[in-house]
Structure 1
């Protein structure tokens, strides 16, 4: 392929970065993992050059390439002047600072059997779906050291970045198009039939316009608004209690995120972390007796889910009952600091263990978006509209 480095218009930048990505994708589809070190270096250098260092092709232990986006370490006061000078929690793993995160540019596909399954990030692919939380964790962990399932802390960093910049990515939230800008669409790669009618569903990864990336550029993280829900690590709800792994410890793929793990911590109203089931920890409660209605932040559960009902509220409209949300909840994308957020709805059932998905799905319209959070299903749940993406840190 012909490649020329230089200055381009925004449209040319998009075309050129996609040309490199498609070359990497097609090479992998045709020939499989890359073992030649010179070719690995060439793939990496081409992508770094055309993206001004913002994208890279990073290889796992088997030589599978993934197209990744660099997120440099960022302090809290860059995101909000009231938050102080500490690093955002996404950049602290096992009490040590990490200089940069690399997040999958697109939702993942997978290669290999389940015993050896590995997540791979490539353009113009159909996202991997019908995947449970634990399968997503494993497909990322098996890639090697520092590879992991994108964590809630990392997703929340992007959420706060978008709030700070006043830009909210659009996406496939209306059957292949964006409901608010129907002229924007991706390449539909999955259609389904319901009631005798065919509908558009998933779009191929990264085929929407640049406005479908987190920063509106050809080098940003795509498909965060709709397309498929994405499992994220380091967060869960247990009988309504919000539990996390401290900072971004979930990025350490040796950390136990099982139901019985002792790494889970609950959050007090002052933002301190304590053992689960400590009195007075922060919880999501429902406004109706059967656990439906709106979601409120509280220190007790009065209305617990019974049967199928779930509670839901637009993220920016979440309210609290007899408690003020600590800054940590804003920083982790679990409660709004104000109303300056894009679209996205929070769903939850506050009975049993519920694992998190973010972003929404192809037919959610205004319920999809970066702030969208679903805490209504167990870790064993899988569906045709649930996927994930890997991340890496250095």
Structure 2
């Protein structure tokens, strides 16, 4: 007969065995749950990866479909390029051309490939120009129609917004503007535009929606119009597939050219990678017929090989001093000592004849000045493909100043 001590010991042993069995079972259950959790996680990951891939595929199909629709509708003259921010940009394909093939012999432009299609001497088969001004839609630099242009940005901000779009993107250059303008002149499709508060000054029936929904021609309010909302005659080729709003609406910042104390400085061809400090200094200056520094417009500018009459202090970027201007940029007087520069004729900065692209020229021959072209909604007959505003410092901005992205592929 067992003693109480032996029974207590037996109970302890049974309890230990039960505890061990419970622990073993718990470990087995835990292992199986871990396996189940792992399989569930793997299944979820597979489903998520499959979903992400299918979503990506659908996005690619959608974006490719949009691009194909634009290209098919335009016969390949327009395309859609998505930038680094994922924004769609409708671009006009401008193919390379020979200058002599334009037939503009009176302009004395030389021969060969226009410099817009050369980068450090290497030719490009085509360039892509924003169909519209950069808009305030989709982050502020997308090239889309029916939106308000992105305005109130200075030169450096506009340039940065373009380069931020990704590799090959840049702000439209002085070379590209001139190439498009010369092509339009050669093809008889010089565009009109919003030059009279929501309408064309020379064709009042041509209108577009104003930013303030105001009446066309009403000089009160903001006369700026939506991108591309005008008729086909406001496009560079007079078709629905052309580059819109080059004339009027907003002045456009252009890259690769500036005035430095009156001296004309540009890149030698279309190369946005060249630092501003390394741009070429031409032996060409905007002189003046007056040495006055006070007042506003003190006379006509003069092309010269030096500045004789400076209208403000050297290196002064302010607007505190006088300027010169002429309603027809091509009629500018040339000093007898001035040696013409062929490249400047190709860029519509100098002209061999007085009958050239329409446009007003205004110049401050002191400080650094950066080019604005095309004219604005209030410029009337002063606006045009030849309009050249060399009045503004790089820090200038306003509700009438926009910009246009371009792209190398």
TM interval, short-chain normalised: 0.7 to 0.9
Backbone CA RMSD of aligned residues? 2.1
Aligned residues: 334
Partner of 1:189: 211
Matches of 2:187 and 2:135 in 1, distance apart?
30
Name 1:276's counterpart in structure 2.
none
Per the alignment, residue 304 of structure 2 pairs with 298
Query: Per-residue deviation at 1:78?
Result: 1.7
Maintained 8 Å contact 1:214/1:222: yes
Deviation, structure 1 residue 295 = 1.3
Match of 1:40 in 2: 63
Q: Contact conserved, 1:191 with 1:199, CA < 8 A, in 2?
A: no
2:149 maps to: 127
TM-score normalised according to structure 2 size: 0.78
Q: CA deviation at 1:77?
A: 1.2
Mean Cα displacement is larger for which, 329-338 or 136-145?
A: 329-338
> Which segments of 5 or more consecutive residues in structure 2 lack a partner in the other structure?
1-56, 313-319
Q: In the TM superposition, what are the counterparts of 1:21-60 in structure 2 within 5 Å? A: 36-60=59-83
Q: Which residue of 1 aligns with 2:321?
A: 308
**2:121 is equivalent to residue 95 of structure 1:** yes
SS of residue matched to 1:156: helix
Do the aligned partners of residues 83 and 359 (structure 1) sit closer, same or farther apart at CA in structure 2, a change above 3 Å counting?
closer
Q: Are residues 325 and 190 of structure 1, via their aligned partners in 2, closer, same or farther at CA, if it must alter by over 3 Å?
A: farther
1:238 maps to 260
Alignment of 1:334-353 (within 5 A): 334-353=349-368
1:283 aligns with 2:305: no
C-alpha separation between the residues in 2 aligned to 1:83 and 1:344? 19
Q: 1:139 aligns with which of 135, 155, 161?
A: 161
Q: Secondary structure at the match of 2:93?
A: strand
The alpha carbon displacement at 1:319 in A equals: 2.4
Query: Does 2:343 correspond to 1:328?
Result: yes
Q: CA deviation at 1:345?
A: 0.4
1:162, CA displacement in angstroms? Answer: 2.4
SS of 2:175's partner is helix
Correspondence 1:48-127 to 2 at 5 A: 48-79=71-102, 80-81=104-105, 83-110=109-136, 119-127=141-149
Residue in 2 aligned with 1:357? 372
2:361 alignment partner, SS class: strand
CA deviation after TM superposition for structure 1 residue 200, in Å: 4.5
Is 1:205 aligned with 2:220?
A: no
